[in-house]
Structure 1
Amino acid sequence: MVEPNHWTNLIWSVSTPSIVGGWGLPWLPDERREQLLSFFSREEIRNRLQRELETFVASRPSKRLGVYFENLWSFTFTHHPHYELRQRNLPLRDGGRTLGELDFVVRHLPTDSTEHWELAIKFYLQADNDFWVGPGLRDRLDIKLARMRDHQLPVIEQPAAKAILQQEGILIERQWTLMPGRLFRRLADSNQPLDADINPTSHWWAAPGEFRQRFATEAYRWVTLPKEGWLADEGYRILQSCACTALAEMLESGGLHRPLCVAGLVGGRERTRGFIVPDGWYQSALNTLR
């Protein structure tokens, strides 16, 4: 059992590279992430803003991890001196037809330019060499990337969308994409090579039996992570932990109906992270690729 640490999650959100590169997408440059990290890492900034962030997040509760992630970025744009937040989740509608929605429209003050940012936080498990799927099997990495490239960014070029933006007094001069998150490889396949565009990952997924067999003799203490604890390695406060055998027995006796994110701790610090999945999850994941 853990309690999320929103400030640590904010630091992770602004500084973590996207899980992939390439795909013809305008990924936010390293320099911009470094500037954000430099500001929010300052002790006086944390002391001044941490409680305000906690109040901000608490006032916008949501079960959706993507909304939580956007809340962290909304706070970031509001408080960083280089940005002016102009719009969040700006809908583009032509009559009764929805063209799309812009995650963020911000003014980048150092360059005096208006930017459209498309953000996503994603956690994918490798189902096959080239395919990564969400834990709930409702999302796939290649499909999400193609949608960002082929729809979410080009939508501003549609005449109807241009007219809406003009009415709002918005002229988009630059676009950026961000997709931090984590990629999880099957525990037995963790040494296989990855595609060049995939950022290296050391996270894993396993069925309960594989989990028990691999970690039963290790000295880890285990915690289950709620979605707001999926971000930073230290993005949570530990309230209760258990041994591998106790966790495996609990899952096997109570039934595991959906993937469970867990972290292995040594001395109270996270050393490994993975998803424990139901026994039939892998075959179900392969079925989604057909």
Structure 2
Amino acid sequence: MSQIFPSAPVDHWSNLLWAVGSPGITGSLESSFLPTTLPWLPEKRRKRLLEYFAQSQVNKKLSPQLEAFLQHYSERKPTSRLGVYFERLWAFVFEHHPDYQLLHHNLPLRIAGKTLGELDFVVRHLPSDTCEHWEVAVKFYLQLPGHFWIGPGLRDRLDIKLRRMAEHQLPLIRRPEVVHLLQDLNLKIEQQWTLIPGRLFYALEGPAKARGKLSKRQMQFWWADPDSFNLYLSTFPQYQSLRWFYLPKPTWLAPLQPDLASESHSDELPKALDKAPVDRPLCIAAKDKSGEVCRGFIVPKHWYPEALASLPGH
């Protein structure tokens, strides 16, 4: 697909700003649909992080350092996993924001040779002089019936992720053997935070249904099989003049920049899909002169039946 249709370039600094400034993925969902509650990072803390890194002088000073930091990590431990890239952005954030001291990143909890788990980050919040444990993740889920949300690769589900974080990852530090281990490391964790930004993509059910069922936000983030997407694209006049991009995983975070150039028109996307039949979920986005308009996943025709079969009761 990337050889047929233009790929969006990776902008690490924009991704960093998106990582620190984005609200949790569950913010747009009704609480009754969520399996548990978690200690979400307060908005005030997110705002302070974003305000610092959004300063032009900070960008000028640290942007080259971020490039070198990520390059160093990539050479030492190459990976294509988006979650690892996201954690590396946060490691840089904790090392450079004046409010934080990074104590541990991916701290393994091993007892008698057995690994019980690991802590994503242990940091000291300097303004409050508090030792904090942070669990961070970035997630992208597609809508299914029954208020279920599943990852494009069908290996991850929102309710399972939240429940595991609440019932396993966070309580780890309260297990007696882990308490002793942390004491040996001279760590007394006083606060825990969770942070899971990402996007929820709503099903396109065809143009007629979409008009009646999907809100403006739902039209902005969608998923569809190739036939449904082509029908949708040809039905809505406002999408005829957009420029479309294929999004490799590192570009799933920040929105497309307004100055991003492309000669691709909307009528070229169906042709590109015909030349490269969709055999796995593809993330694409469209922009106009002001910036990104929408993005979504085009999935193979067999994706939806397989997604349904993975749900409880199927």
SS in 2 for 1:59: helix
Mapping 1:27-106, distance limit 5 Å: 27-61=40-74, 62-106=79-123
Decide whether the 8 Å contact of 2:258 with 2:289 is kept in 1: no
Shift of 1:97: 2.1
Pick one of 10, 14, 33 that aligns with 1:8.
14
CA distance in 2, matches of 1:166, 1:236: 50
CA distance in 2, matches of 1:268, 1:258: 30
Deviations along 1:143-183, one digit per CA (max 9) or x if unpaired, are 00000000000000111111211111111000000000000
1:229 partnered with 2:235? no
Decide whether the 8 Å contact of 2:258 with 2:292 is kept in 1: no
CA distance in 1, matches of 2:232, 2:244: 13
Pick one of 257, 267, 270 that aligns with 1:245.
267
CA distance in 2, matches of 1:192, 1:162: 50
Decide whether the 8 Å contact of 1:119 with 1:177 is kept in 2: yes
With over 3 angstroms needed to count, the CA separation of the structure-2 counterparts of 1:228 and 1:235, relative to structure 1, is: farther
- More helix by proportion, 1 or 2? 2
Decide whether the 8 Å contact of 1:225 with 1:261 is kept in 2: yes
SS in 2 for 1:182: strand
RMSD after superposition: 2.0
Deviations along 1:173-227, one digit per CA (max 9) or x if unpaired, are 0000000000000123666589xxxxx6540001111111111352111100011
What letter is aligned with 1:280?
H
Aligned length: 285
Decide whether the 8 Å contact of 2:222 with 2:295 is kept in 1: yes
User: Gaps spanning 5+ residues in structure 1: where?
Assistant: 195-199
CA distance in 1, matches of 2:177, 2:80: 33
User: Gaps spanning 5+ residues in structure 2: where?
Assistant: 1-6
What letter is aligned with 1:211?
F
- More strand by proportion, 1 or 2? 1
CA distance in 1, matches of 2:201, 2:252: 12
CA distance in 1, matches of 2:265, 2:109: 50
Shift of 1:253: 3.3
Identity of aligned residues (%): 48
Deviations along 1:210-249, one digit per CA (max 9) or x if unpaired, are 1111113521111000111001113698464523332222
SS in 2 for 1:129: helix
With over 3 angstroms needed to count, the CA separation of the structure-2 counterparts of 1:152 and 1:103, relative to structure 1, is: same
Partner of 1:263: 285
Q: Provide the TM-score with structure 1 as the length reference.
A: 0.93
SS in 2 for 1:13: helix
Partner of 1:165: 182
Deviations along 1:7-31, one digit per CA (max 9) or x if unpaired, are 1111110010001156220000000
Shift of 1:269: 2.1
